[in-house]
Chains A and B, each alone.
Chain A
Amino acid sequence: MASNRNRSWPGLILLVALSGLFISPFVWMLSTSLKHESRIFSRPGEPPQWIPTTEKMDAEGRRLVTYQGQTGADLGRADTGRHALLVDGQEIQAWPEEFEIQQQLGLHWQNYVSAFEMMDFMVNLRNTLFICFSAVLGTVLSCSLVAYSFARIPWKGRNAVFVLCLATMMLPYQVTLIPLFALYSKLGWVGSFKPLIAPYLFGTPFYIFLLRQFFMGIPQDLSAAARIDGCSEFGIFARIVMPLSKAALATTALFMFLFQWGDFLNPLIYLQDSRQYTLAIALQQFQSQNESAWGPLMAMSTAITVPIIALFFLTQRTFIQGIALTGLKG
């Protein structure tokens, strides 16, 4: 709305407020991931602490090692407890009024270290990347071949097959889930990466559709000219259509990567040994075993999220265009 351009202060203020709201869980995640365990749980009445402070110092540089020592009640006093201070390597006890607390920014990277160790992060990362890249490669290759057939080769029965392909998108995956599990377990594939990769070597309707729409837009004259020059159908596909479709192929690869990176259900069903876990499933398992280890949990969540955010910044245009493409032409 050009008429509203730059004029609407309430709109801008609302935008800033809403984006603060949307981003606050991320900031909270990052902040918690860098907090010392003693600072993660808030005491009753304490407001949320955004800046991680691992340790507290008083003005004389005495380090506060425990926030609460003996309670006041134990010592016959009604006020809050004594604190332990570390002075020259020795713990001394002091009442809150005997020293002044200065909040110090302190980033507690230990959460990342313990999360990485407890989760076998590098192994999980390698598994995830292996599955991601296999599925991406398989999808891009198979879907572009099939899409080429649907978009640029007029063969008898093509439209019927294409409609069938679209119709299968309507089916919820739960319908085929159990027979596929039964099939893979008969093949002895359960507990391996095969069930996570094999289906993607044969084309996925959504991406076939996306690529077909894109291939349709490439002028037929180019194919005709190449055909006159004696180029085979595969030659036209590989040397003309594919190089002209980099944007759509990139969108396909990106969306598939993203899907595989975060996929939960399939790894949950098919992976049994923790050495095979992907990051997503490893995080969930870690969470279910360490329900209140919020520091390492947030560190892990951050570690899984940051690559996706980085990927988004690197490929922002492909992303936005891709979503608009799938949405508007769907």
Chain B
Amino acid sequence: MTRAERRNLRNGLLFASPYLVGFTAFMLYPLAASIYFSFCEYNVIHAPIRIGLANFRVLFFDDARFWRALYNTCFYTAFSVPLGLGVSIGLAMLLHRKVRGLAVFRTVFFLPSIVPIVASSVLWLWVLNPDSGLLNGMLRQMLGIDGPGWLADTSWSKPSLILMSAWGVGGAMVIFLAGLADVPQVLYEVAEIDGAGPWGKFRNVTLPMLTPTILFNLVMGLITSFQYFTQAYVMTGGKGGPDDSTLFYCLYLYRNSFMYLRMGYASAMAWLLFAVILAATLVVLVSSKRWVYYHGE
């Protein structure tokens, strides 16, 4: 090693030392401990007791609420992620037309995504209030329908949360806007010469050029929605009701760890969550070879 190399190594490690320490303390140690806990019965107060695969066995075969929570989370993901992509692409397309007052519109669509989640959840509790809420009030006034009980109704509680999630797509919209700005203008001109109408241009130019951005937002959307927690906690008082219809995976995980103090069991759940997220991400990434188009490759 030359003197310069040695100096670089020393400086490099020195500058990176906060992360190296942090990685060991806040990542490496917890990861090892979490693996260990997942094979243990552990309540923080007493030392962990090893019980082999019992946590996983109970999860898979004896815990109906675990499957309910997994189902609720998959249901939420299956609807909120595609809906979110659709809404954010739609809004980005509308804003990309360089209308007057673009900044105002962009702000309006973006703001909901930066409001503290607790505040927006409390707000939506009120919007979705069956008797005096805004949504049912508007449904009655404009369409003359009596709206459902939303969060109070087992069959409407998940759709309520999915609806609310579409309100917070501002971040994805801004990313799509940046993606749209990168589509070379010349492609539209060529498409126009070829006689493409607005739909043809969207289908054959915009959409293919946006696929890398769609991939990014899809993966981020999947990861976030599998970890859906705060809204469900605030809007159901941490219970996931009515009748476990909004008991999402991470809410159940939280209840196991901090309410029932089944920390080993919850650790096993956390690793299964990781497996599910990893599998979903891998499926998307592998399939992306078929549908993502990288311009310039």
A interface, CB within 8 angstroms of B: 1-6, 8, 11-12, 14-15, 18-19, 22-26, 28-29, 32, 40-42, 45-48, 142, 145-146, 148-150, 153-156, 158, 161, 164-165, 168, 170-183, 185, 199, 201-203, 208, 233, 237, 258, 261-262, 264-265, 268-269, 279-281, 283-284, 287-288, 294, 297-298, 300-301, 304-305, 308-309, 312-313, 316, 319-320, 323-324, 327-328, 330
Contacts and interface: CB of A to CB of B under 8 A. Distances in A.
A153 B15 contact: yes
Chain B interface size, as a band, is: 35 or more
B112 A22 contact: yes
B241 interface: no
Given A1-B96, A283-B118, A324 B178 contact: yes
Nearest to A153: B12
Contacts of B271: 175
Interface in B12-47: 12-16, 18-23, 25-27, 29-31, 33-34, 37, 42, 44
A111 B94 CA distance: 38
A24 B277 CA distance: 34
Interface stretch (B49-57, B60-68, B227-235): B227-235
Contacts of B91: 18
Given A172-B270, A182-B263, A305 B119 contact: yes
Contacts of A164: 23
Nearest to A255: B114
B230 A175 contact: no
Contacts of B16: 145-146, 149-150, 158, 161
A179 B21 contact: no
Contact of B18 (A29, A47, A145): A145
Please classify the interface of chain A as helix (H, G, I), strand (E, B), loop, or mixed, using the class held by over half of its residues. Answer: helix
Given A19-B105, A308-B116, A171 B37 contact: no
B18 A201 contact: yes
A200 to B, nearest CB: 9
Given A42-B137, A176-B31, A284-B118, A312 B278 contact: no
Given A22-B109, A185-B44, A304-B118, A208 B27 contact: no
B99 A172 contact: no
